[in-house]
Amino acid sequence: MKLGKPPVVEAWIEFRLILGEEVPQWSEEVACRYIDRYYKDVFSRVQVMGHHEISFEMRDSVRRYPVLKDAKAVFERIKASTADDDRLLQVGRDIVVLNMLRKQQDEWPAYRVLRDEALTAFEHY
């Protein structure tokens, strides 16, 4: 049985890895090189995903107010998308994700298409 308009709008395959400490840290530069090397002509838009780590220390023993001690940007992953936003590839130090998004007018490809693309991205990783 095949549904004409399945209710699914996004499907993805995600690989999470448990890496040892000897593996070099991924950075924005490393992730961009991965995209450029294997997917330069496929994914035309790239976003850097991350967060900020901020720490404070308490100052003044009477009024006790926080003072910024340290702040740094932390790279998590890069998210690359095709020009028409129907495919996304996310890569970071311990993760590879391939997303397929369904456009209203498009038919869903077979599962094997998603599987094969995700396995290829993982092999490149």
Q: Quick one: pLDDT band at residue 23, thresholds 50, 70, 90?
A: low
**Predicted local distance difference test score (pLDDT) of residue 10:** 86
Residue 105 scores a pLDDT above 70: no
Nearest C-alpha neighbor of 25 from the set 77, 96, 97: 77
Q: Choose between 20 and 55: higher pLDDT.
A: 55
**Predicted local distance difference test score (pLDDT) of residue 116:** 95
Nearest C-alpha neighbor of 8 from the set 82, 107, 89, 115: 107
Give ∠ CA 96-100-105 in degrees, rounded to 5.
170
CB 122 within 8 A of CB 15: yes
Q: What is the mean pLDDT of the chain?
A: 86
| Average pLDDT value for residue range 91-95 | 89
Instruction: Supply the pTM of this predicted model.
Output: 0.76
